[in-house]
Structure 1
């Protein structure tokens, strides 16, 4: 896939757009698995949402898809596990910090030098928590696209 974009276009939904041609199932599956773990991890850390993950059944992540020309558009959102009704507030509470933390992780990564080599970074690793580790896994998975 040549181009992959992740954004929160619509409140309560995380949108991912990628080239729909010749998708490797293992890459898509792995990316969705890691994305789900990272989003759930961040959602559990949100004060107003934490209690929802302490009860069973927990909110579920649902996926809607649409193909627009060469683009495969994925829309991900939390829903009530009993009736699949979108939980817009929970989704927004989870996706906002998800995008901020993922953006912060990307900003801390070493940048390519003038001749394409990655400059070595001195100092502590940007991977400090389990959430950071999951976000870094997501970064690696997204490189397949």
Structure 2
């Protein structure tokens, strides 16, 4: 089984490219994931390369930026290639199947508080007070709870 789930912050803006030929979108990014255990009280993080394909790649590049919190689910994949200097290079990365944006907007609280106030304002338009005895249409007969067999 090869399954990885990560939550971390972007170390830089995602880089969006398109494959030659069919033009499939591919975004590459690096995720800083905090380690659970810290040595000598200092926080430590791992910097993990992530690859996202297709529409998710376009959305990630368009809506996420450096420092944003993001969740990734995918698989670990290794590959190798020959560099320009003739040496063999090995790369281990996470290929994302699912991407979740855990932090939106420009990151300041004023945008979140304005969204909350808009939400609360929209709720105030609903009448939440209990109504007095509701009248039934003539073709609807109210049922007494004792008549229900369960």
Question: So what's the TM-score if we normalise by structure 1?
Answer: 0.27
Higher relative contact order (CA 8 A, sep 6+): 1
- Give 1 or 2: higher strand fraction: 2
- Give 1 or 2: higher helix fraction: 1
